[in-house]
Amino acid sequence: MADVLKLQGVSAGYGEAVVLNGVSFTLQPGTALALLGRNGVGKTTLINTIIGLTRMRGGSIHFDGRDVTRQRPDERARAGIGWVPQERNIFKSLTVEENLTAIMRPGKWGLEELYAMFPRLAERKRNMGNQLSGGEQQMLAIARALATNPRLLLLDEPLEGLAPIIVDELLAALRKIVREEKMSAIIVEQSARKILPLTDHAIVLERGAVAWEGPSADLAQDADTLARLLGVAEKSAA
């Protein structure tokens, strides 16, 4: 079975600035990857590069066995890459249900399945996007990406700035999506201890390069690496 995603020697950035330097990794179908690192190391740039929003300086990107290095972002999206950006980018002048149906594609993720995954959205389906709380907007952003029925889901800081109760709800939903539904996913997150239990593998970036790569369970138990690369105290690594 082909890798769902393969990056080989990827260097990329914005304009003349090079942010990523020789990044290589593969993602197997049905597995989830935690993308970790301190602020400013290139995590969002890596997500943006996979979706096609940066300037490639070297290397290649293969998705589902096909070279997408030179494809436009819309072509990659149609090929099956779903994206939840930090900014969420929901349609605030549309209702919850209109947000979902406007971009929905055939597949297992229909309205019924999305509302079952996010009951809050079912309760607010007639509300406009700008009437939702920050947590509800994040749920809608994730549900909207799922509505395209992607082969790969990219989530950039999905827990950032949310109340603890909403974080718990989102973590439970993400656990179902990647563990039970076996969605291939890359999740960017500042809190290693929150996301490592949900994922199969982890990559830690430092200065735009891969500084550590391996099973998530191994990193969760590696107090020295967590402290050195992520600033995580030993008591938080459990």
Per-residue confidence band for 15, with pLDDT thresholds at 50, 70 and 90: very high
- What average pLDDT does range 179-208 have in this prediction? 95
Confidence of residue 175 (pLDDT cuts 50, 70, 90): very high
Residues facing 81 on adjacent strands? 152
Mean pLDDT of 101-113: 95
Amino acid at site 45: T
Give this prediction's pTM: 0.94
Return d(Cα 42, Cα 47) in angstroms, integer.
9
Q: Which domain holds residue 18?
A: 5-80+151-236
Q: Does residue 13 sit within a domain?
A: yes
8 Å CB contact between 229 and 63? no
92 in any annotated domain: no
Please write the tens of the pLDDT for every residue from 220-231: 999 999 999 998
Number of helical (H) and strand (E) elements in the chain, helices listed first? 10, 10
Average the pLDDT over 87-101 and give the result. 95
Question: In this model, does residue 234 exceed pLDDT 60?
Answer: no
On whether residue 91 sits in a domain, the answer given is no
Please check the confidence at residue 99 and state whether its pLDDT lies above 70. yes
pLDDT digits (tens, 9 = 90+) for 35-55: 999 999 999 999 999 999 999
Task: Using alpha carbons, select from 181, 28, 143, 153 the residue that is nearest to residue 80.
Answer: 153
Q: What's the mean per-residue pLDDT of the chain?
A: 94
Tokens 């950035």, residue located: 13
Query: Is residue 224 included in any domain, yes or no?
Result: yes
Q: Looking at residue 232, what is its pLDDT?
A: 78
Helices 164-175 and 134-147 cross at an angle (nearest 10°) of 20
In this structure, what CATH number is given to the domain that contains residue 190? 3.40.50.300
Is the per-residue pLDDT at 237 higher than 60?
no
In a domain, 109, yes or no: no
Question: In the structure encoding, which two tokens stand for residue 143, read together?
Answer: 């549900």
Is residue 93 one of the residues assigned to a domain?
no
Quick check: is 129 in a domain?
Answer: no
Q: Looking at the domain assignment, is residue 221 inside a domain? A: yes
Instruction: Calculate mean pLDDT across residues 166-176.
Output: 95
The CA-atom distances, in angstroms, between 201 and each of 19, 77, 96 are 23, 24, 33
pLDDT, average across residues 191-198: 94
**Residue 27: pLDDT over 50:** yes
Full strand arrangement of the beta sheet holding 5-14: 17-27, 5-14, 55-63, 66-67
Residue 2's pLDDT is: 80
Q: Please state the domain count of the chain.
A: 1
Q: Determine the average pLDDT of the residues in 212-216.
A: 97
